[in-house]
Structure formats: structure tokens, C-alpha cells
Amino acid sequence: MSDFEPKIVAFFCNWCTYGAADLAGVSRLDYPPNFRVVRLPCTGRLNPKFIMEAFKRGADGVWVSGCHPGDCHYIAGNYYARRKFILLHQLLESVGVDPNRLRFSWISSAEANKFQAMAKDVVENVKACGPNQSFRKEELNLGLAEVA
């Protein structure tokens, strides 16, 4: 398990966490490269479908991060998002998805250090969960490997 490198899908708000990732980059703060970032205009844009799709396609973890409450570029997008997160978090945990696979965080564009720490923490947590085997779509096996 030690050489398991998880794949994590990260949904970042353009106005804060995406900026924090940028700042962490220019500040030469190193963090693990296990996540692929999808840039959103706001966490309010996040549809629970996106998270399900990520898991379905084999992501080992999902990380959603946006602006601190009260700091939304669109005034209230993250407040609405927070209510959705509460439901989604509860639902996925209830059906047996390890909560360590799913992370929500608030990181402003000035918090490069928080971003670095959070990135390390997310990857560590997902690593501890191991590969996502129970909550993904089986790859279609047509038996073509033998033919080719």
C-alpha cells in the first residue's frame, strides 16, 4: 500500500482556492501532485453530480474548496453551497463512503500556507483509505486485451 498514489479530483473556486494554489506555486511551496483541479466560478456552481461522476470514474478522493463564508465573490454562493455540502456529506457517509475520501474546505486566495497544509492532509487521508474499489464504475471488460 505504501506506493499507492491516489488520484484526487479537486473542485476549486476561481476567486479563492484557485488563487491560493497559484500563490502556493509562485511562493515555491511544495505539495503533493495527486490532485487534478477543476476550476469553478464559485462553489455554488458545484452540482453533487460532479462529485458522483468523479467517484464513478474511479477517483480515489474528491476535494472541494472555496471562499470563507462571507467572502463569496457572488455575495452568497458559498452559503448555498454549504447547505448542499451538509446534505451530500451526510448522504455519502450514510451509504458507507469513507468521509476521509471527501474533503470540503474554505481557503482564501491569500492562504497559500493553509492550501499547502490542506493539500498534504487531503492526500494523506485518501492514501490511508486506499484505492477506491467499492464506489466506482467497473471498467467494461470486453475481453479485447487477449485479442490485441
Partner 1 sequence: MPQLSEITGKIRESAKKLLTSGQADVVIGYRQGTVPMATAPFFARTPEDCDQLVWSNFARVNLANYLSGRPGKVALVAKGCDARSAVGQVTENQILKDNLYLIGVPCTGMIDNNLVVAKEPRPISEVTETTDEAITVKGNGFSTDIKKEDVLRRNCKTCVNRTPKLANELVGPEVNGAAADDYADIKALLGKSLEERMAYFKDLIKDCLRCYACRNACPLCYCPICFVDETRPQWLGKSTDAMDTMTFHLLRGLHCAGRCTSCGACETACPVNIKVREFNRIMELTVQSNWQYEPGMSWDQKPPLTMFQTDDTADFIK
Least distance in angstroms from the C-beta of 96 to partner 1 = 3
Listed residue (9, 18, 7, 6) closest to 42, CA to CA: 18
Q: Pick from 25, 86, 110, 130: which binds partner 1 (CB under 8 A)? A: 86
Distance of CA 136 to the CA centre of its chain: 16
Return the residues of window 51-80 that contact partner 1 according to CB under 8 A. 52-53, 56, 69-70, 76, 79-80
Q: Pick from 90, 110, 128, 130: which binds partner 1 (CB under 8 A)? A: 90
Stretch that binds partner 1, among 3-11, 17-25, 29-37, 45-53 (CB under 8 A): 45-53
Distances in Å between the Cα of 13 and the Cα atoms of 74, 91, 93, 128 are 11, 23, 24, 26
Listed residue (62, 39, 36) closest to 49, CA to CA: 62
User: Site residues (CB under 8 A) for partner 1?
Assistant: 48-49, 52-53, 56, 69-70, 76, 79-80, 82-99, 103-106, 118, 134-138
